[in-house]
Amino acid sequence: MTNKNICFNIYSGEDMEKQILHIDVNNAFLSWTAVDRLHNGEKIDIRTIPAIIGGDESNRHGVVLAKSMPAKQFGIKTGETIYQARKKCPEIQVFMGNYDSYRKHSNDLYQILLEYTEKIERFSIDECFMDLTLFLGKDTLINKAYEIKQRIKEELGFTVNVGVANNKLLAKMASDFEKPDKVHTLYKKEIPSKMWTLPASDLFMVGKKSIVKLETLGVKTIGDIAKLNKELLIKKFGKHGKVMWEYANGIDESEVIYEQEKPKCIGNSITLPQDIYNINKLNEILLALSEQVGFRLRKHKMLAGVINIQIKTNEFKVYSHQKKLDIYVNTTKDIYCTAKELLETLHSNKPVRLIGIKVDKLIDEEEVQMSLFNTKENEKYEKLDRVMDELKKKYGYNKVTRAGEMKVNNMLNIREEK
């Protein structure tokens, strides 16, 4: 990094649209039980046989908490008694739930999501909202959705559906589309074709009692609710009528409500619009990724002791390399220089379709004293980072870029237009 890169541009413009994902674990309790059994040496994946999660089978009032797809084919339903399930499928396999295990799997999922953003709302034990508005860089929300889905499958052993949208409501509705192991979008322009055709009972927050009343108004689909007079709905349902009308029209201004929990690692990656062979161009992208990762590190007032980079070739082969640092760092310069060094050990002139950086072994800034070797040059870059961070917080992450990042943005924009 040279002095000519110590310049930045501020772009004016309207506030960015929210970039929201909803992560929903497919058949969570049964999937998590299946993962535990496989890890313990069992040969049969209970997701592939008629199986349910329930209580003590000696208790005729124990209910079905989760069911496999083969069990569903026998007409077994969540909430019915195990006794009823047995009558439908005498050979059904019944497994006890383990809530300690479920909490662990839920936390493992959460830790992966924390690598992408701290703005995560744990909606339930098996559902999370993610706000990636400030953390996409030049990548796209749909790319992140596929990346996260695949990582969860490969690293944790279970599948999720991911809803992609510009607000929480539409993201949640999208994640409920075809299952399992799918990514679905639901943007405003897609509401008429993807949401309005669904039964009114599929709309979030519309219960059985509301459906009975809605049927007296001739309502059958979500689109019917959207087209009703809002004041009529308010008169008949009160405040809930207003909510129903807004939801049916895709209106939701609620924020992702999150706790400030410090991550164990921070990462960012980008799936490239076209494969890249040239290491110099890959280094330019590493600079932009280093800035994003450093921004989050500094926001949490943390330092990293390990830096890892990963590349994926056009043959979908993944290569990674990491380096343990002599001192803990959080400046963009330090992260970038190490990442660049690691890339040189991995690059083999094969076309690259994904590149990413992850920092690990994180500690609080207070845990480390100022290095005796902290030079004026380092102080200059630390000051630059502080200025850049404040400008990004004020104007929006993508509105402020270094010269090097600007070059990357232009390169990626050109490629995306082809």
Positions marked catalytic: 127
Distance (Å) of CA 276 to CA 50, 181, 280, 414? 47, 29, 10, 13
From 303, 297, 259, 306, select the one nearest 389 (Cα to Cα).
297
Give me the DSSP letters along 309-349. Answer: EEEEETT--EEEEEEEEEEEE--HHHHHHHHHHHHHHH--S
Say whether 10 sits in a helix, a strand or coil: strand
Judge whether 54 and 65 are in contact, CB under 8 Å.
yes
Residue given tokens 């689109």 in the structure block: 223
Judge whether 169 and 201 are in contact, CB under 8 Å.
no
How far apart CA 246 and CA 48 sit, in angstroms, is 40
Pairs from 217-222 (Cβ < 8 Å, separation ≥ 24):
221/196, 221/197, 222/195, 222/196, 222/197, 222/198, 222/248
From 190, 391, 156, 397, select the one nearest 292 (Cα to Cα).
397
How far apart CA 380 and CA 417 sit, in angstroms, is 37
Residue given tokens 């049969």 in the structure block: 44
DSSP for residue 62: -
From 223, 220, 248, 244, select the one nearest 233 (Cα to Cα).
244
Give me the DSSP letters along 34-53. Answer: HHHHHHTT-SS-GGGSSEEE
Torsion of CA 162, 184, 27, 271, to 10 degrees: -40
